[in-house]
Structure 1
């Protein structure tokens, strides 16, 4: 159930980014200026990153949660994943780009993958 909570929160975050991008696109057409399109491109990178990495991370979290992982580990993974995506989005939302925070976000997301893979392997082998 913890994974479900984080799936809903992250899906909501994804929808907010998508709606913001729609607003930027409409604003650029209405005002006939190009600055919204620069923001649109930057937000698109963060949105694409979420679309690529969020489903598998949530699937891995779901599988280890169903395998009996402790709630503390699940909360840690969910918070790391959320923080990773927020840092990634925040860094690319700045103009000109801040590439330090997206890198930290990517490290946090990768840590979620590593923890989930190790726990899943441990569950499969009967070690965890």
Structure 2
């Protein structure tokens, strides 16, 4: 049974809704109903939201499988906290103008680390 991963899924969902709101607000203020219309602020909000949507679900799936295979709470929490921190760092660093490159980089490093550690943990636990 999953008891830890749903907490991180819920927190990540809150971040996702916040990023969705940012896209909606940018569309409203820039009067753009579709695409980015060549507007840099629109493109930035779309890509910040999209990047989150590209990485968070896959990483959560891996974390959930690690938990379902019986990994300890410490590992599951480290993975969940790493993913949450990485995605928030990346979104904040990428979304600012000018970008805060170090936060963007730290966010991707954390996200990739979670993906790799969770993948290896799943392989080890499955064997």
**Short-chain TM bin:** 0.7 to 0.9
Matched residue, 2:5:
3
| TM superposition score normalised by structure 2 | 0.87
Gaps of 5+ in 2: 32-38
Instruction: Please point out which of 33, 40, 56 is paired with 1:54.
Output: 56
1:69-122 per-residue CA deviation (whole Å, 9 max, x = no partner) reads 100111111110011011111111211223221111011001101111111111
| TM superposition score normalised by structure 1 | 0.86
Aligned residues: 119
CA RMSD after TM alignment = 1.5
**Structure with greater proportional helix content:** 1
Gaps of 5+ in 1: 30-36
Ranges of 4+ aligned residues in structure 1 off by more than 3 Å = none
Rounded Cα–Cα distance in structure 1 between residues aligned with 2:21 and 2:96: 18
Mapping of residues 1-128 of structure 1, within 5 Å: 1-29=3-31, 37-125=39-127
Rounded Cα–Cα distance in structure 2 between residues aligned with 1:39 and 1:3: 33
